Amino acid sequence: MATPPLDRMADFDLTDEQRQVRSVVRDFAEKEILPFVEEHEQAGRYPLELIEKLVPMGLMGPMIPERYGGSFGDVVSYGVICEELARVDWVVASVVSVSNSLCAGSILKFGSEAQKEHWLPGIARGEIICSACLTEPGGGTDLGNMQTLATRAEGGWRLTGTKTFISHAAHAGLFFVVASVDRDQKHRGVTAFLVDPHRTEGITISDFPMRTLKRDNLAEVHFEDAFVPDDALLGEPRKGFPILGSALDTGRFSVAARCVGQAQRCLDLAIPYAMEREAFGHRIGEFQMIQQKIADMVCRTEQARLLVYRLGRMKDAGIPRASMESSLAKLCASQAAVKNALDGMQIFGGYSCAQEYEIGRLLMEAKALEFGEGTSELHSRLIAEFALGIRKQ
Ligand SMILES: Cc1cc2nc3c(=O)[nH]c(=O)nc-3n(C[C@H](O)[C@H](O)[C@H](O)COP(=O)(O)OP(=O)(O)OC[C@H]3O[C@@H](n4cnc5c(N)ncnc54)[C@H](O)[C@@H]3O)c2cc1C
């Protein structure tokens, strides 16, 4: 549970249903996921059995409408789910976020009815884990410059290129792939595909060893003249960049919500430690410099949470694109998660580096969230361009 004085943080405007979602997911996550996370990390094991536990709770399809087998309630509730799952495990939250924001969200918005019926129920039932194949070895920020090529073939397309840092790839039943039909045209050549890795020849998946998040089994995905049929095309050729933009808009919401969960977790760990650990005959939480860190951590978490919930409410109100607010939420929340992990580690002193303590692991995991779905530099640039009127929503 959250530390009692903080248990009503930024929830004054949640509805009773949203509070109920939070309470149920928190209870589930603390009992069914948290106790196994460190074991998975040490073993470098993908937490498939933890992901399976999400299915009966309806947590694999919180953005998928009921008619496709999902449990969609509202966007704020989806954010609360991502927040609570990320509070205990990066990877479990990531599987929900990638599958729902990037993949299911894109299918719902841009897919044909046949594509919706083909993919969405399987995602909601947890039978299809999704991967988003966006980043390439040459760079992830400048997505308009992607080198993976899609060439026309009879009855479909051939994909050639490499995607890197791909979460969930080895276990995925759906790859959301962006490729270029014309590299010279940069973002105007980008085209989106829904690829079934089990039915596509010419795809190889190789390990991408990480210093942290070993339980995610990140991978490189190689496409070598891989044939995908016409019905794998999402939207129209050369119209993939707006699809990507829309996917990332929702993706940034869920990543920001995950960052709030991580920032909160740092507080949940640091507060009891500060009130137990003693130095110079006092609990360290009585020292002003430790109190300053706790105060900063609370402020950052609350600011980030408010930005995330506001963004969710904008989406629930039907505002189609909220790109500036997405960047604001993503930037502030990811930096809150990183800074809270750093302050949390300082409070734990040397023990923050010991394997026994979770706080040290949270720093690297928070840092990874500062890169994913747009780095801080990208979001700062976008916010400034919106503010200056150089860029429009
Ligand atoms: C744990 C983890 C999981 C991931 N999962 C996935 C996944 O599932 N699917 C996927 O496709 N990708 C995934 N990624 C990749 C992630 O999205 C990229 O790392 C990210 O987009 C940045 O790309 P890059 O690492 O190539 O950095 P680069 O694009 O090479 O950038 C390097 C640095 O330069 C800065 N920079 C770039 N352009 C500018 C500019 N114009 N102005 C100022 N600074 C600039 C960047 O902000 C960054 O600090 C994952 C990454 C991690 C760490």
The 10s digit of each residue's pLDDT in 217-245 is 999 999 999 999 999 999 999 999 999 99
For residue 127, what pLDDT band results from cuts at 50, 70 and 90?
Answer: very high
For residue 2, what pLDDT band results from cuts at 50, 70 and 90?
Answer: low
Q: Which of 112-126, 149-163, 191-205, 319-333 has the lowest mean pLDDT?
A: 319-333
Residue closest to 106 by CA, chosen among 77, 86, 132: 132
235: left (phi over 0), alpha (psi -120 to 50) or beta: left
CA nearest ligand 1 atom 37, residue: 141
Over range 326-335, report the average pLDDT. 98
Over range 71-98, report the average pLDDT. 98
Angstrom distances, CA of residue 146 to CA of 273, 369, 388: 46, 22, 28
Among 165, 362, 377, 385, say which to mutate for ligand 1: greatest number of ligand atoms within 8 Å of CB: 165
With a pLDDT cut of 70, the percent of the chain lying above it is 97
Topology (CATH) of 4-129: Butyryl-Coa Dehydrogenase, subunit A; domain 1 (1.10.540)
Residue 5 has pLDDT above 60, yes or no: no
Over range 64-68, report the average pLDDT. 98
Domain 131-238 sits in CATH at 2.40.110.10
The 10s digit of each residue's pLDDT in 44-61 is 999 999 999 999 999 999
Q: Which residue has the tokens 């963004």?
A: 311
Query: Regarding beta strands 129-133 and 172-180, do their DSSP bridges make them parallel or antiparallel, or are they unpaired?
Result: parallel
Residue 4 has pLDDT above 60, yes or no: no
Catalytic residue among 236, 302, 373, 377: 373
Beta bridge partners of 283: 278
The 10s digit of each residue's pLDDT in 266-323 is 999 999 999 999 999 999 999 999 999 999 999 999 999 999 999 999 999 999 779 9
With a pLDDT cut of 90, the percent of the chain lying above it is 95
Beta bridge partners of 307: none
Over range 234-262, report the average pLDDT. 97
The superfamily (CATH) of domain 250-388 is Butyryl-CoA Dehydrogenase, subunit A, domain 3 (1.20.140.10)
Q: Which residue has the tokens 């429009």?
A: 392
Q: Judge if pTM exceeds 0.85.
A: yes
For residue 57, what are its two tokens?
Answer: 């709770």
CA nearest ligand 1 atom 17, residue: 372
List, in order, residues 6 or more apart from 386 with CB less than 8 Å away.
323, 324, 327, 392, 393
pLDDT, averaged across the chain: 96
Ordered by start, the domain boundaries in the chain are: 4-129, 131-238, 250-388
User: Quick check: is 373 catalytic?
Assistant: yes
What lines the ligand 1 site, CB under 6 Å?
131-135, 139-141, 165-167, 213, 218, 368, 371-372, 375, 377-378, 381
For residue 38, what are its two tokens?
Answer: 């460190």
Q: How far apart are CA 391 and CA 115, in angstroms?
A: 33
- CB neighbourhood size of 12 (10 A): 6
State the Rg of the chain over Cα: 21
Determine the pLDDT at residue 393.
Answer: 78
